[in-house]
Structure 1
Amino acid sequence: MTISLDQAQKIITAALAKSREMGYAPMGIAVLDSSGNLKAFASEDGASMFRFDVARAKAWGSVAMGVSSRVLGERAKGNPNFFVSLAATSEGKFLAHTGAVVIKDAQGRLLGSVGASGGTGDEDELICMAGVDSVGLTSG
């Protein structure tokens, strides 16, 4: 199973709505399927050119390891060489920094992930969680 295009687009729409509600900076949001392939992406007007790469890398690491990027960042503190190796092995597609969550169905099956870039890691994570919640899926 994987996330549908319709679900991915709704996640992005809800995440951007939450970002605007909170008054956050312009965001980039990437939704990946369970294989780490890009399903959908949006970049708000005014978002910097790095938003895509950072949002996707957060989401890619999250779906690859099956946990939020917050958890990956915590794990990286205890084993930094391993996480640097993961980033190098994935040709830069792996970023262990808060701002991405996994997307799971009611049975706990991994469907994909969503990552955001534009605010603090906490802000990015909050809007990703809002997006996932909006489609009745879970972010962890």
Structure 2
Amino acid sequence: MSTLDLKTARTVIAAARTHGRSAELKPLTVVVLDAGGHVVAAEREDGASIKRFEIAVGKAHGALALGMGSRAIMARAEQQAFFVAAVTAAVGGSLIPVPGGVLVRDGAGTLLGAVGVTGDTSDHDEAAAVAGIEAAGLTAQVD
């Protein structure tokens, strides 16, 4: 697979939401971006608070912008706060440096895109993203 198509994105979203329901997470918003940062698919569960779409996009977009999962971006922000603030400004604010933004790779290691999840704690958001990616037979990169 060299692109992240709509069918695969829908599989990722469905599995991430299923994980969220089975783990009794708060309502989630899940966004799947292709490698160019374009939205392939997104869903906001009933009861999710406002602006969750933008937060999920920011997690996924930030991962793509820096080539690392948003957990790794958070660690970098703790060490280089000015750098991450500058990057956030450079990308128009679309970078959320907390877990929940996960890069998506195929079996050959090719970058296909990223998934952003928000709605519960950042660790739980990341777990839902990973579950969705793996359910689609792809590889999740959180670091």
TM-score range (shorter-chain normalised) is: over 0.9
Supply the distance in 2 between the matched residues of 1:11 and 1:122 (Cα, whole angstroms).
Answer: 18
Deviation at 1:89, TM superposition (A): 1.2
Q: Can you list the C-alpha shifts for 1:29-66, whole angstroms capped at 9, x where unaligned?
A: 11000011111100000001121010000000112222
Query: How big is the shift at 1:92?
Result: 1.1
Deviation string, structure 1 residues 80-120 (Cα, Å, up to 9, x no partner): 11110111111111111111110000111100000111000
**TM-score normalised to the size of structure 1?**
0.97
Please tell me the root mean square deviation across aligned C-alpha atoms, in Å. 0.8
Give the count of matched residue pairs.
140
Q: Which residue of 1 aligns with 2:16?
A: 15
User: What is the rounded CA distance, in whole Å, between the counterparts of 1:100 and 1:2 in structure 2?
Assistant: 18
Moved runs in structure 1, 4+ residues, more than 2 A?
none
Q: In 2, distance between residues paired with 1:133 and 1:43?
A: 20
Query: Does structure 2 conserve the Cα–Cα contact (< 8 Å) formed by 1:66 and 1:110?
Result: no
Alignment of 1:90-129 (within 5 A): 90-129=91-130
Task: State TM-score, norm by structure 2.
Answer: 0.95
Q: Secondary structure at the match of 1:139?
A: strand
Whether 2:32 is the aligned partner of 1:53: answer: no
Q: Which moved more, 1:62-71 or 1:130-139?
A: 62-71
2:60 is the alignment partner of 1:62: no
Equivalence for 2:138 = 137
Give 1:2 deviation, angstroms. 2.2
Hey, what does 1:78 align to over in structure 2? 79
State how far apart, in whole Å, the 1-side matches of 2:18 and 2:25 are: 10
Residue 36 of structure 1 corresponds to 37
Amino acid at match of 1:34: A
Which ranges of structure 2 fall in alignment gaps of 5 or more residues? none
- Say if 1:58 and 1:97, in contact at 8 Å, map to a contact too: yes
Q: Which runs of no fewer than 5 residues in structure 1 stay unpaired? A: none
Counterpart residue identity of residue 40, structure 2: K
CA contact (8 A) 1:12 1:41 kept: yes
Give the % identical residues. 37
